[in-house]
Amino acid sequence: MNEFNVTFEPAKIEVLDREKFEEQINSIAQANSNRLVTVESMADDKKTRAELRKLSKSLNDEKIRIKKEYNQPLTEFEVWFKKAVAVLDQAISQIDSGIKDIEAEKKAERKKVVHELLIELTTDTEVDSRIFESFVDDWSKASNFNDIKPKKQLIDSITYVIDGEKQKIAEYKA
């Protein structure tokens, strides 16, 4: 089911007396645009500024009210839609949880294989396999395995790091 049918009619917003409104705003703005503020006129200028800010805020508040009213059908639709698909989200979440549990188990198995490899490759050497613990998470990534069997590239990488450690020990002894 990929079908989701909805019909809607774009609402029309009509500003009655648009030209008259624009004329009034332009008139107010023009009357105050070239105002020269002086020390003597500052008290009056502050009062005018406050009145203009109050006008601007009230106009903006009205625009916000209109927008909220305009968006009401969309808001109602979104609330309904969210409730309608919640069961789908719940099913996805349940499956996701199961997948994560299995992936965690597989990673634990891969970590065990890496630890066994480290022990096997450091047996009969003076290298302590525990010093490579910081690499285990990276080496345990699924990309380094064919199911639960380590890829040759992983074995080569571990061998390379162990050989480097063996060389450090030999240099230290020398």
User: How many domains are contained in the chain?
Assistant: 1
Give the torsion through C-alpha atoms of 136, 142, 148, 152, to 10 deg.
-80
Task: Tell me the percentage of the chain whose pLDDT exceeds 90.
Answer: 72
- Residue 104's domain comprises 39-173
Q: Is residue 27 part of a domain?
A: no
* pLDDT, greater one: 141 or 2: 141
Residue 166 near residue 125, CB atoms below 8 Å: yes
Residue 114 within a domain: yes
pLDDT tens-digit series, residues 83-97: 999 999 999 999 999
Average pLDDT of span 130-154? 92
For residue 101, being part of any structural domain is answered with: yes
Q: How confident is the model at residue 126 (pLDDT cuts 50, 70, 90)?
A: confident
| CA gap 118, 135 in Å, rounded | 11
| pLDDT above 70: percentage of residues in the chain | 99
Residue 132 gets which letter from DSSP? G
Is 7 contained in some domain?
no
The mean pLDDT value for 55-76 works out to 95
- Amino acid (one-letter) located at 37: V
Mean per-residue pLDDT of the chain: 92
pTM over 0.85: no
Q: Which residue has the higher pLDDT, 91 or 8?
A: 91
Residue 158 covered by a domain = yes
Residue ranges of E strands in 1-82? none
- Token couple for 72: 């009401």
